[in-house]
Amino acid sequence: MLYHHMNMSAVTQRRVGAFQGLLLSGTIVIAAVLVAPRSVLSQSAHKDHVGSLLPATVGEPLTIKPLDMADIDCVVAEWRPTAMRPVLTLICPPSTVFAPLRVLIKLSWMKSEDVSVEPEQILAPEGSPTKIRTNKTAAQVWLHVNEKGERKPRSTWVGFTAVVDVALLSGRPK
């Protein structure tokens, strides 16, 4: 009888300890949500307010540390060829691939001499599948290019030398 009472006490203590841990975890999550700055996605809904979760740049622009890596599947989120600085936004991996986190990366060129293809000739509709890889000089993205004088667009690796922005996204994109 005494053994049974001590056993129940140990089980009860474990349950109380687990409950306290769960309560503490929940409190931390709620506090983090209330204290955290707005997410990257909520910032994009407000076109008139420019914001970034990245620290302000100091000195030289962010450059790519080149590594020879395998191709990574992505999807085009946005392509702005007419801006002062053309920007290609990718989300990797696409929503068809199960992943707890996705990377949103915005690419451009550091100098006009770095542009290998005229931005107006790049065909990158939103939602189109693509791939990204890096080499010793740039991040390369597999894109369709409409060359002058050609009837059909051709697919080629287009090199980008500047990372404009990077963000981690959780959950499935809508």
3-state DSSP assignment of residue 79: strand
Question: DSSP letters of 106-136?
Answer: EEE-SSGGG--S-GGGEE--TT-EEEEEE-S
Instruction: Give me the pLDDT at residue 132, please.
Output: 95
Instruction: Give me the pLDDT at residue 47, please.
Output: 43
Instruction: Give me the pLDDT at residue 111, please.
Output: 87
Q: What is the CATH number of domain 52-170?
A: 2.40.50
Q: Which ranges of the chain have pLDDT less than 50?
A: 1-2, 4-6, 22-24, 26-27, 31, 33-52
Cβ 105 vs Cβ 166: under 8 Å: yes
Q: How far is CA 115 from CA 5, 76, 103, 121, in A?
A: 77, 19, 24, 12
Query: How does pLDDT run across 130-150, given as a tens digit for each residue?
Result: 999 988 778 899 999 998 767
